[in-house]
Amino acid sequence: MDAVSVIRTKRDRGRLTDAQIDWVIDAYTRGEVADEQMSALAMAILLNGMDRAEIARWTAAMIDSGERMDFSVLPRPTADKHSTGGVGDKITLPLAPLVAACGASVPQLSGRGLGHTGGTLDKLESIPGWRALLSNDEMMRVLTDVGAVVCAAGDGLAPADKKLYALRDVTGTVEAIPLIASSIMSKKIAEGTGSLVLDVKVGTGAFMKSLEDARELASTMVGLGTDHGVKTVALLTDMSTPLGRTIGNALEVRESVEVLAGGGPADVVELTLALAREMLDAAGIEDADPAKALADGSAMDHWRRMIAAQGGDPDATLPVAREQHVINASETGVLTTLDAYAVGVASWRLGAGRARKEDPVQAGAGIELHAKPGDTVTAGQPLMTLHTDTPERFAYAIEALDGGVLVAPPGTSFEPQPIVHDRIA
């Protein structure tokens, strides 16, 4: 085998053989295939695609590059969830303890934010003392004692994906559906969960801008999970407007605790419950009511135990940014547009996100929304509050919002987007 022949096959719209796929993934992981060669192959895949068998073999090769976890010793069925990333997407925080309170074990391996999308680990690290890095033994202990764990994936899970993901990020090939699907599913399958629910975002603030692309990605991932014996279902959910009323790390933790306390924004509660029901159904748990677990405090109890088990203090005061700036409505009317991408970039520029994986984030930075699309606003009314420790960032963040916030004349009709667009199983 040689890298050039593999590249030429896909460049010329050919089908990669199992042997070619196995070799190139193994050789790249070992350093025998150079970054520039894998970059060329990734671009050929982006342009020419892969069929289902190719994607399945590519995923299997990435799984085989590392270890596989085994949760069969746990007394309860396992269910995991993965989101393709969005703005204000704090759903994992209330969802994991909620599903645990209903009788499933939730081994949630999460990531950090990059660019305009937030990261679950960054949000939880705003809680004093909380640890994202756990050994496999620690992870199993938390799962056994609490029923839910949210932590970083270890280096041993699909190391080929970790290396390839970093390369895709700097070569303009992140959007390749076969590579997105295999990246997500190689880690989730290697993780060893028994069932998986995918939250595939669609809209301006998501990687998938159209329902057609989102359906293709969701169908590909559901097929991969099925092919590898993991019961998998996907929901296509809206990301044209930020979820909830907060974007940023500590701000989103506060809002998640509100949901666990029985309150919180309606859209966050709706999506949390929808995903919880899918996870419980996939795990074979039929008699649990997640809405009741939010109302009776059992989900909150599991949250507090989960945070404490990972070194965090659930009663600690969360960080607050040193500076705030209020943006007011310039006119009276109906707020019709609050673009998720624009708001996400503004929050990132305030310090809530990072441009590179090694960049630090500000725990208190972000945006509070005081109005959502469909609300009637009056001139001078606060629309949002920007938070940051570094006030020189305000102008740069406000620039990102240009064109992303639109107020129509009074009486304009507004038809809200559904939270869940479709279900793929």
For the annotated catalytic residues, the residue numbers are 82, 161, 168, 183, 187
Residue 406 backbone phi and psi in degrees, to 5: -125, 135
Distance CA 280, CA 393 (A): 43
Helix 3-11 to helix 18-30 angle (10° resolution) is 130
Distance CA 263, CA 261 (A): 6
Contact at 8 Å (CB) between 260 and 302? no
Strands (E), 311-419: 323-328, 333-338, 366-369, 376-377, 382-388, 405-408
Q: Which of 157, 160, 167 is nearest to 46 (CA)?
A: 167
DSSP string, 262-280: T-S-HHHHHHHHHHHHHHH
Residue 160, burial from CB neighbour count under 10 angstroms (0-12, 13-18, 19+):
buried
Q: What is the enclosing helix (H) or strand (E) of 3?
A: helix 3-11
Q: Which residues pair with 160 in a beta bridge?
A: none
Contact at 8 Å (CB) between 383 and 335? yes
Q: Are strands 405-408 and 195-202 parallel, antiparallel or unpaired?
A: unpaired
Q: Which residues pair with 83 in a beta bridge?
A: 199
CB atoms within 10 A of CB 75: 8
Give the torsion sign (CA, 218, 219, 224, 229): positive
